[in-house]
Amino acid sequence: MTFGDWPPQRRIGLTGGIASGKSSVAALLKKRGCPVLDADLYAREALTPGTSASNAVVSRYGNRVIKDGTSEIDRAGLASIVFNDPNERSWLEQLVHPIVQRRFDDALRALPDAPIVILMIPLLFEAGLEAWCSEIWVVRCTALQQKERLMARNNYTDTEATQRIAAQWPIDIKAQRADAVINNIGLIDDLNDQLDALL
């Protein structure tokens, strides 16, 4: 089965800006019984020690992307490389994205009877994966909230947070292409009301 040949099933692509609250929305959807497939989780798994992707990263960047005293990829060190060089970011995406796609395919094959499946994909539009979904929901918050949340969550400087945000499509462009926009400005009751209406 390919992504274009799904059974009668709502495959909701959940995306948005970095630190906009996709994980919070996904957690609420899980509580409602919706399976959530997480692209970020699959990408982390792709870079576990000993995998072909992990070996390729170490071969390209050497010890500067290995955590001291381990064989694990230092994700912060790798991010500092790829977010400062679009060519390196493109190389990494071309390495990891096919692995993530295969994981999604396998997971969807295992869920043929689920009426709704959530595909949480931060770079859904950037990677051109709209065809995977029967509908797309974009989670958004204010630009200031996005930056503040990212700095608090990841301990980023203002410059680092701005870099991460700039590496993705502007949220307004994503919202224009969405079937639904979920406003996540911080009120949990409002978020629940929006999800109940959409489901």
Whether residues 128 and 181 share a domain: the answer is yes
Whether residues 125 and 99 share a domain: the answer is no
* pTM confidence score: 0.87
1: pLDDT strictly greater than 60: no
**Residue 94: per-residue pLDDT:** 94
Identify the domain boundary among 110, 131, 164.
Answer: 110
Tokens 């979920």, residue?
182
* Region 63-91 average pLDDT: 91
**Residue 111: per-residue pLDDT:** 95
Q: What would the pLDDT profile of 104-149 be if each residue is shown by its tens digit? A: 999 999 999 999 999 999 999 988 889 999 999 999 999 899 999 9
**Residue 181: per-residue pLDDT:** 97
Whether residues 52 and 17 share a domain: the answer is no
Half-sphere exposure of 131 (CA within 13 A, CB side): 8
**Residue 2: per-residue pLDDT:** 47
6: pLDDT strictly greater than 60: no
Q: Whole-number mean pLDDT of the chain?
A: 91
Identify the domain boundary among 81, 110, 139.
Answer: 110
The percent of residues above 70 in pLDDT, for the chain, comes to 96
3: pLDDT strictly greater than 70: no
The percent of residues above 90 in pLDDT, for the chain, comes to 78
What sign does the CA torsion over 97, 95, 165, 32 have?
positive
Query: Any idea what the CATH number is for the domain that residue 57 is in?
Result: 3.40.50.300
* Region 63-68 average pLDDT: 91
| Residue 134 lies in domain | 1-35+116-199
Q: What would the pLDDT profile of 139-188 be if each residue is shown by its tens digit? A: 999 989 999 999 999 899 999 899 889 888 999 999 999 999 999 987 78
Whether residues 28 and 56 share a domain: the answer is no
**Residue 5: per-residue pLDDT:** 53
**Residue 115: per-residue pLDDT:** 95
Whether residues 45 and 94 share a domain: the answer is yes
* Region 183-198 average pLDDT: 90
Whether residues 8 and 74 share a domain: the answer is no
